[in-house]
Amino acid sequence: MNYSERILTLPPYLFASIDEAKKAMIDKGVDVIDLGVGDPDRPTPPHIVESMVNAVRDPKNHQYPSYVGLPEFRAAVAEWMKKTRNVTIDPKTQVLTLLGSKEGVAHVPFAFINPGDVVLCPNPGYPVYTIGTKFACGVPYEMPLLSKNNFLPDYDAIPKDILKKAKLLFINYPNNPTGAVADKAFFEKTVKFAKENNLVVVHDNAYSEMVYDDYKAPSFLEVPGAMDVGIELYSMSKTYNMTGWRLGFAVGNKDLIAAFGKVKSNIDSGVFDAVQRAGITALTSSQQCVADMNAVYTERRNALITGLKSIGLDVKPQKATFYVWAPVPKGYDSMGFAKLLLEEAGIVATPGVGFGKSGEGFVRFALTKEVNRINEAVERMKKIKSKI
């Protein structure tokens, strides 16, 4: 059998050994607390489900969808961008419906990258930035996100010869896995950097609404000039507990949206109209469900942070995302500490190195279990404090 290079050169699955160890613990009868996966544990709010049920019954939603998205969905997106971010976009030319933002991340390089072109990707980062780049025969350049820079990339540290070949820049704030946020000053710097180096900016804003302590995550497009250079990806997944539904959208520069749309119209045939109708309900009805979820995550975050501090780990409460990015104790690397947590405390956390080499020295906890389970995890960690 002959396989493509792109399949054969995929990075090894770093979590395989953790997965195996987790399975072994479960087989032994251990009550494992899995804080590994970034998938909301609570169900989709009932008003959204109800709207899907009604839409599914209507035969007008059963045919091929429009590949750019229902006009009503795109109008709801434009209205939501105006209401939440005061960003004005034309629903006809500046919105593209996505089968989740992962699909957007994976396909966007095909619109802007020729073989050998460089794509600037955050490290640690969501793995699809580099993999989508490689699938399009581009070359990822990994920008380290370091604690001393508040997990923002240092554009000045990128070598000139790399910049000459760079065509696309991925950024992601609020950030997975670090939980870091970016202010408008960083986005302004990004616009300047993109204009100087002729880069397309793709801002993955998958955690746009998952925010705490009165923090509000800005849109990249709020910043002057951003609309000239970039697009922004949004996801219904984390905001409305809709990971299974596969719905997101891209907004921004109309020429970039059109180019991206050309790629997509040749790959998929759009999102099931009934799912888009549920999406309209999510975007246009009361956002109380989002505020309620954020209150739930805040309580979980505070419980975990208090617990981690009590065993001596230096963690600060993140302003956004459901990830706690914790430095590992002395004497451990991220795999070693994740193994200790699993084998001695029955807790699954994701080793930071799985998100790229600059993730070494950290583990990621996802706040995707109820607070009583998080408190239980904290109690178990206290019991192994002598090893931490």
Q: Rounded to the nearest 5°, which phi and psi values hold at 23?
A: -65, -40
Nearer to ligand PLP, 155 or 170 (CB): 170
Pick the stretch among 16-24, 99-107, 179-187, 273-281 that binds ligand PLP (CB under 6 A).
Answer: 99-107
β-pairing, 347-348 with 230-235?
unpaired
Q: State yes or no: residue 130 binds ligand PLP (CB under 6 A).
A: no
Q: 351: number of CA atoms within 13 Å, CB side?
A: 23
CA distance 191 to 198: 10
| Residue 234 CB, nearest approach to ligand PLP (Å) | 8
β-pairing, 362-366 with 350-351?
antiparallel
Nearer to ligand PLP, 120 or 388 (CB): 120
| Residue 380 CB, nearest approach to ligand PLP (Å) | 27
Q: State yes or no: residue 133 binds ligand PLP (CB under 6 A).
A: no
Nearest residue (beta carbon) to ligand PLP = 100
Nearer to ligand PLP, 94 or 243 (CB): 243
| Residue 205 CB, nearest approach to ligand PLP (Å) | 9
Contacts (CB under 6 A) with ligand PLP, residues 167-196: 172, 176
Nearer to ligand PLP, 319 or 388 (CB): 319
CA distance 35 to 242: 19
Nearer to ligand PLP, 15 or 309 (CB): 15
- Is residue 225 left, alpha or beta, with left meaning phi > 0 and alpha meaning psi from -120 to 50? left
Q: State yes or no: residue 101 binds ligand PLP (CB under 6 A).
A: yes
Query: Strand order in 323-327's β-sheet?
Result: 323-327, 362-366, 350-351
Q: State yes or no: residue 359 binds ligand PLP (CB under 6 A).
A: no
**Torsion angle of the four alpha carbons 122, 124, 128, 130, in this order, in degrees rounded to the nearest 10:** 60
- Is residue 150 left, alpha or beta, with left meaning phi > 0 and alpha meaning psi from -120 to 50? left
| Residue 103 CB, nearest approach to ligand PLP (Å) | 6
Site string for ligand PLP, 221-260 (x = CB under 6 A): --------------x-xx----x----x------------
Q: State yes or no: residue 206 binds ligand PLP (CB under 6 A).
A: yes
| Residue 326 CB, nearest approach to ligand PLP (Å) | 18
Count of other CB atoms within 10 angstroms of residue 375: 15
Number of residues that bind ligand PLP (CB under 6 A): 15
Provide CB contacts within 8 A for 180, sequence distance 6+.
Answer: 145, 150, 151, 152, 173, 174, 318, 325
β-pairing, 248-252 with 347-348?
unpaired
Nearer to ligand PLP, 123 or 243 (CB): 243
Count of other CB atoms within 10 angstroms of residue 374: 25
Count of other CB atoms within 10 angstroms of residue 369: 17
| Residue 206 CB, nearest approach to ligand PLP (Å) | 4
Nearer to ligand PLP, 248 or 356 (CB): 248
CA distance 198 to 177: 28
Among the listed residues 22, 74, 102, 373, the single contact to ligand PLP using CB under 6 A: 102
- Angle subtended by helix axes 371-383 and 288-310, to nearest 10: 10
| Residue 214 CB, nearest approach to ligand PLP (Å) | 23
Residues at the contact surface with ligand PLP, assessed by CB under 6 A: 38, 100-102, 105, 126, 172, 176, 204, 206, 235, 237-238, 243, 248
